Structures are given as C-alpha cells and as structure tokens.
Chain A
Amino acid sequence: MPDLSYVRSEMLPERAPPASQVGIVGWARANLFNGIGNSILTVLSLVFLWYVLAAILPWVFAPTWSKGSLNECREVFAADGGHGAACWGVIRERWVQLMFGFYPEAERWRPVLAFGLLFVALIPVLFNMISRRMNWVLLLVVLGLAGVYLGGVLGIIVGLALLGAAAFVGFKAFTTSKEDRAAEIASGVKRLPNPLFFSALYPFIAPWLLWGGTIWMPVGAALGFVISVLAYRSLLPFVGNLAGLIIAVVAALVWWLLLTAPFAGGLHTIIPIGLEPVESRDFGGFMLSITIGVVAIACSLPIGIVLALGRQSDLLIVKALCVGFIEFIRGVPLITLLFVASTLLNIFMPPGTNFDIILRVLIMVTLFAAAYMAEVVRGGLAALPKGQYEAADALGLDYWKAQRLIIMPQALKISIPGIVSTFIGVFKDTTLVSIIGLLDPLGLTNAIRADQNWNGIVWELYGFIALMFFIFCFLMSRYSMYLERRLRTDHR
C-alpha cells in the first residue's frame, strides 16, 4: 500500500479577496487608475477640481449678506486681506424684485398662492402615487395658509378652519388602511371628487389671481366650456357627431367673443367681487418667466399634437398648411417672432384693438413651441410600428378612436424625452422677452447693474439666476426620466 504522506480531508475556509480588489482601493483601481492614460486623466481632473473648488468655496462663503452696496463689500474684503469674494448683499436686497418684478407689494400673496395652487393642480397630472385624499389635504393646506397669511379676523378664522379640515382628513387618511377604505366605499360612503377637477379649474383661477379684476370674468370664461358641452350633449340626438361638434365650438366662440364681457360687467355691478387689477407692465422676475413658461408649455402640447396629426394626414391641403406653418416657425429665430409680438401683432388686429403685451408674447411663444412639439410628436408617430395602425383599423376603430386609444398613448410615450426637452427649451427661451423690454430676471439685471450701489456686480447676480433656472430645468429632466421608467412596459 503506497504511503500517502498528505491528503487534505477538509476544505479550506474561503479567503477574503485581496485588499487591492475590493473596497475603495479596488474601486479606485478599477475606475480611476486602470492604465497609464486613465491615471493621467484622473490626476489632471483632480488638479482641475482642486483649483476650481479652491477658488469657488472661499468666494461663496463670504460674510457679506448684510452689506448694502458693492463698496461696503469691498471694505470687508480689504479688511480681510484683499482677496475678492462674493457680495451677497445684492441678492438679499433684490431677490424680491427678481421673484416678482414690480408687482405691488400688498398683492404679492397672489402670485405666491397661484404658484402653490399650481403645484396642487399639477400633482394629480404628474404623479399617480399620491392618494386622492392627500391631494385635497394639500389644497386645503395651501388655501388655509393663504387665509392665515392674509390676516384679518375672517381670514384667520377661515384659514384655521381649512387647516383644521386638512388635519382631520389627513389624519383619517393616515389611520384608515387601504382595505378599510375600500370597504367603506363599497358600503356606500361617498368618495371625494377626483382632484383632476381642481386641475381643470386652475387655468381659470390662476389668471384671475395674477391679473386681478372681477371674478365674473374667469367664471364667464369657464361657462363658455359648460355651454359648449351642454350644446353638444343636447344636440347630439338630433344632428350627427360632426355637426354637433361644429355647433358646440361655434356656441362657445359666440359666448366668449360677444357675451362674456357684458355678462361679467353686468354681474359685477350687481355682486362686485374682485381683486385689485394689476397691470402687465408690473409683472416681472421669475413670476413672469414661470407664467409664460407654464402657459406656453400647457398650450403647445395639444396644438403640437394637432399639427403633427395634420402633417401625417392624407388630406393634401391640411397637410400642406401644417407643413408650411411648422417649417416657417422652425426656420426663424424666436426673437423675430417676439419682434412680431411687440411691434406687429397690433397692426394685424382690427383697428383700435390694443391687447396686452404679455398676451401677445404668450401667443407667439406658444406658436413657436407648438411647431417644435409637432416635430417631436411626429417622430413618435413615425417610430410606431405600422402594425399598430393596421391593428387599429382591423378592430374597426374610426380615426379619432384609433388615435385616442391606440396610436397617441404609444406615440406620446415614445416621445417623452423629446417633449420634455422641448418644455425645457421653452422655459429657457422665456428669457428672450427681456430683449423686447419685459422685465424677466435677465431684464432686471440691467437695472440692478446700473444701480450706483451695485455697479460692477456680475457673478453673484447671474450665478443666482443661473442656479434658479438650473433647478427648474434639471427637475424637469429628472421628471422625464421618472416618467419613462413608470411607463416602461417592455420586458427587462
């Protein structure tokens, strides 16, 4: 029998991987120093980063928040050793102006409330993770805070009541589980109305809050839609679909163009409820940018979809009109369209009309955004496999049903990145209104830099505005990524 000197009878315990392969060292070796070229790049980047941070950080953290002019800041720097730093006093002194422009001080709660309500109105549109009740709680909280802020006995009582109601509903929402709630609804407890109801009302509330005037004007505008729907529903049994639609549109137009103004004026003399009117020329700052951006974004998507469908359509004349419009708008810079808004749009209107500059700008920016949107949506339509169109036809759906149920949901999903980057582009392009003399944040910088106290200020002011725009636009692009993930239906 051969003599086996050594046979292992049990497995060795696993050894830890070498220190150079795991942890920070391993990560750095894999990602930063894998090869000579990469190591050089890493070192160069680190040196660059060091220089930038060493320049920026001491600059940012300067004790100049309370200073009232650039000269006072310079005195601080001189006492501090002579190196320059940020003079944040300009932001402290002017940030209200950068937010609201020359909006009257006593009325500034209105844009703030409009902005808060905008969030409440947007949440059910943008996210589906928040429950119906929480949405109403949010609305009550915003309104309650506004009441308390406005003060006065009535304001505080109403505000506190609203906050209390919010707390009550919120508490109930937290304490009842999903199953209990489902059982309650099954047993006949009424559900709260859909929060989209408020989102639909918001377009009438916001302009009233911002521009003021009688409350009967937005009510009249909203009544136009009600009249249109009523006309359509009541006429549908007698005339066909298409004729009903045409009559509904005509009824709404007649109401808006001819009857709304006397309606609002008449009611206002009987029941005068209204807010102090604010002139468009007092609008400014980020409030103006957001107003123009939100309106242009909200209106350009539906118009863009219609234009894209027109461009894809078989109807030759409709197609030619849409192509002509889209290519014309996309071929000229926005600034020329803003020149049209500022100088020519009044010439195009019947003699004697003089409509608001912000409204004129809104029209042109919306048309501009719609043309770009149309191209994005067309890309989505073209990317959809032909089988989808054929399947819709095979199911016997008519054109609009096929578009609504099969084509558009998929085409819009495909074009989400393009749509959101168009949104971001529109929001950035609102700065161009400073060239035609509106006081958006960039328009205000000229006045601030011309001020004797702040003559020579650059980095703080523009840096602050850039940061604000960055936050808005970056959030929008992150949202598009979230939406893409949420709507993803392919197999992973």
Chain B
Amino acid sequence: MTTITDPKQGQFRLSMLLYDSRYRAITIQIIALIGFLTLIGWLLSNTAQNLAVLSKEPSFSFMFEPSGYDINQRLLDYDSQDTHLRASLIGLLNTLLVAAMGCVAATIIGVIIGVLRLSPNWIVSRLTAVYVEGFRNVPLLLWIVFTMAILIETLPRPSAFRKGEASMSLWDTVAMTNRGIYIPEPLFSRSLGDMHLLGASALRFDVSLDLLALLAVVIAGFLTSILIKRRADIIQEATGLRPRTWHLRLGVVMLPFLLVLTILGFHLGYPELKGFNFRGGIHLRNSLIALWVALSLYTGAFVAEIVRAGILAVSTGQTEAASALGLRPKRTMSLVVLPQALRVIIPPLISQYLNLTKNSSLAIAVGYMDITGTLGGITMNQTGRELEAVLLLMLVYLAISLTISAVMNWYNQSVTLRER
C-alpha cells in the first residue's frame, strides 16, 4: 500500500519561487513589473537628459502664447492673435465636424450598398462587390490625396465663371470651383442674435439663438409625437385597433418648425461672383470636401460588409416563423429581422465610426486644419515642443476613443441576450 504525503509545510526554499506553481505566478508578475518599471525609468531618464541638453524642459505654457497662424476652415471665430490652445480647440472641432459628416455619409452609403450586394440581381451584386473590393484594397490616404487632386485639377477656376466657360449647378445655387464649393447659407432676416459665452477666454464660443429656438421646437415636437404614439399603443392594447397617427405625428413636428422659420424670416443666401472670387454662401474648402468624400466612400465599403454580414446572420427560420405567426412582411422586417440584425451590426459599426474618427487625422495630408494639423502640425513645428504636443494629441484621441468605446460597451450590455 502506498501513501501519498504532502510535502512538509514551512520548508520554503528559494527555488520554490521558480518551480512551485503556487509561487511562480507571483514571481513572474514581479519580474514583469520590475522589467516594465525599469524600461519606463530608463526612457524617462534618457528623455530628461536629452531635453536638458536641448534646454527644453517640459512645460505646457506654450499653449497660452499667441499662435501666429491662420486657420481658414473654422467653426468658431479665431485669428492669429489667439492662443495655441484656441487653435487646438478649433482643430478639435474641425476633427469632430468631419468625423460626424463622414459617419453619417458612410452609414448611408454602407446601408444602401450592403443591401444591394445581397440583391438577387446578378449585375447589381457584382457592381457593388467591385465598389467594396476596390475601396477596401486601396489605401485611404491615396483616396484622400487623389480626391483632392481631382478637385483642384478638374474643377473650373472662379474666373471661368466670369468668362462664361463654367456655370453654377443646381439652378444657380451651388458653385463648384477649384477653390472649393460654395453652397447657399441659411439666413434669418428677423434674427434673435447670438449669445456670447465664456467672455474672451480661449474656450469662448457663440451660440445662435435662432438655432436654439429651432432645436427647442423640434425636440418639443418629437416629444409630443412620442406621447401620441404611446396613446395609440394604449388604445391598441385596450381595443385591438390602432388609430391612424402618422399625419398627426408629422404635423406636430413639422408645423411648429415651419412656423418658427417664418417668424424668424428664414431665407437662403446664395453665393455670388464678386471680383475674382465668390462671396456669400457657405464656402466648403477642397480639403474638407476631399477628406469627407474619401472617408465616407472608404468607410462606406467597410460598413457595407458589416450590414451584409448582419442581415445574413439572421437565420431564415426567423422570417419564416414570423410569417407563420401571420406578420406582414413590413412588420416582419421591423419587429423580427431588424432588431436581430442590429444586434450584430451595431458593435462593428461603432468601431468603424471610431476608425473613421482616427483616420480623419490624415487631414494633414491635404491641409485640412483638424487637431492633427493644428496641434500636431503647425503648433508643434512653430514651438518645437514635440513631446508636449504629441502627448496632448494622443490624449485627445484617446479621450475620443474611450468615449466611443464606453458608448459601445453600454450598448452591448443593453442588448445582451439574457439567458436563463
């Protein structure tokens, strides 16, 4: 008969740190931590020595000095006397602007192409496949520079409009020139004016009261519309008949909106050729358009694949079960297929939005002044503060990414299948 005895307690030998699985995990972790800290310490001491030699002690005071450069495409007021901090803020807003525009356009393109790619129509599915493969297999930076070059080289100069060689498109409302595209701007003849916030600080901004009023009316309209829907739901529960509500819901949103527009005296200001250039209207510069178009088309190809995968992920059994229950095709789509497809589509879609936002940093290649172009471009080169500028730049992008990931995690938790 054999007996198994435990090793005697209390006999700790040094070699057990390596060979005893109870202690080995701790040893490895401590070694890893020491290695990591040594690496960080080594890098930091090197950096300190090098910066001391260059006499550039780390400091962020340069952010409060006048920037001395202009930013042509901007959402807030800014001039070259403003600080680098304000320039970075303008850049950040430009990043967010092109990211938001790109996300909307990429979603629209992606959904249309993704659905068409599943079409039983052979030629349509082939054409969309060509689009998807073409855009996914060619670098985004190439598309951006390419689009920029096309805009600059093929669109007419403003002087061509004077000579009559070119004319404005869309019933004389939009001027497409090689200096950018001019579109009509919304104007209010009885404007409520602007609200100036935060005084004269670097973060000051103006809010148009007209816009606020319109926003308030639209939100109120939507809330009322939801109330109407709730009431219809209650009636349906009680009687089994659903009252017709769409005209009421549309009217509640649209009528007050149109009313406020009329009260404020809404009209469009068209671009006009004055001197050597167009005046009036909103001037979308080539850099913004090239970036927007290329980002949307490129990301749209990825979104199309996500949408296609999402729709394919819903098994046909679900559709058949819904028809067996007697649901009409439209209700099958909205109540059975879409909720399940969206569960698959939305997480990768959000990560595409994140990619698009990070990719918007390629703006620097066409001179669009986003946060990379201001803080990581001109500010860095002018002040010579590479360490601080790159650090701030990374922090800004990390903050954006972490915010988007937080939204994604929240969504994932809210749609997780709760299994019993």
Contacts and interface: CB of A to CB of B under 8 A. Distances in A.
Interface of A: 31-32, 34, 38, 41-42, 45-46, 48-49, 240, 242-243, 314-318, 321, 328, 330-336, 339-340, 343-344, 346-351, 424, 428-432, 434-435, 442, 445, 449, 456, 458-459, 462, 465-466, 469-470, 473-474, 477
Interface stretch (B24-32, B179-187, B238-246, B277-285): B24-32
Nearest to A474: B137
Contact of A350 (B46, B133, B380): B46
Contacts of A32: 121-123
B32 A318 contact: yes
Contacts of B402: 331
B33 interface: yes
Contacts of A349: 46, 50
A189 to B, nearest CB: 46
A437 B358 CA distance: 20
A42 B36 CA distance: 61
Contact of A458 (B138, B154, B390): B154
Contacts of B141: 431-432, 434-435, 442
Contacts of A348: 43, 46-47, 50
Interface in B354-392: 358-359, 361-362, 364-365, 372, 376, 380, 386-387, 390
Contact of B398 (A34, A42, A331): A331
B14 to A, nearest CB: 12
A332 B358 contact: yes
A434 B365 CA distance: 9
B32 A332 contact: no
Contacts of A335: 361-362, 364, 372, 376
A336 B401 CA distance: 14
Given A42-B123, A351-B53, A462-B142, 5 more contacts: A49-B127, A336-B393, A351-B49, A434-B141, A458-B146
B397 A331 contact: yes
Interface residues of B, number: 56
Interface in B112-143: 119-124, 127, 133-134, 136-142
A315 B28 contact: yes
A321 B33 CA distance: 9
Given A348-B47, A428-B139, A477-B137, A321 B32 contact: yes
B18 interface: yes
A42 B120 CA distance: 11
B28 A469 contact: no
Interface in B218-259: none
A462 B120 contact: no
A45 B124 contact: yes
A432 B140 CA distance: 9
Nearest to B390: A339
24 contacts: A38-B119, A45-B124, A243-B18, A315-B25, A315-B29, A317-B32, A318-B28, A333-B358, A335-B361, A336-B376, A339-B386, A340-B390, A343-B390, A344-B387, A347-B50, A348-B50, A351-B50, A431-B141, A435-B362, A462-B142, A462-B146, A466-B142, A469-B138, A470-B134
Nearest to B151: A458
A42 B380 CA distance: 54
Contacts of B140: 428
B142 A333 contact: no
Contacts of B364: 335, 435
A46 B124 CA distance: 9
Nearest to A428: B139
Contacts of B142: 431, 442, 462, 465-466, 469
B36 A321 contact: yes
B128 to A, nearest CB: 10
Interface of B: 18-19, 25, 28-30, 32-33, 36, 43, 46-47, 49-51, 53, 119-124, 127, 133-134, 136-142, 145-146, 149-150, 153-154, 358-359, 361-362, 364-365, 372, 376, 380, 386-387, 390, 393-394, 397-398, 401-402
Contacts of A473: 136-138
B394 A336 contact: yes
Given A240-B19, A317-B29, A336-B394, A466 B46 contact: no
A240 B24 CA distance: 14
A442 B372 CA distance: 19
Contact of A240 (B18, B134, B358): B18
B36 A38 contact: no
A332 B36 CA distance: 21
B144 to A, nearest CB: 10
The 7 A-B residue pairs whose C-beta atoms are closest, nearest first, are: A473-B137, A331-B401, A428-B139, A31-B122, A333-B358, A333-B361, A343-B386
B386 A344 contact: yes
B390 A46 contact: no
A428 B143 CA distance: 11
A319 B120 CA distance: 47
B58 to A, nearest CB: 11
Nearest to B30: A317
Contacts of A469: 137-139, 142
B18 A242 contact: yes
Contact of B139 (A317, A343, A431): A431
A397 B119 CA distance: 50
Contacts of A429: 139
A461 B416 CA distance: 49
A471 to B, nearest CB: 8
Given A335-B361, A339-B386, A347-B387, A462 B122 contact: no
Contacts of B25: 314-315
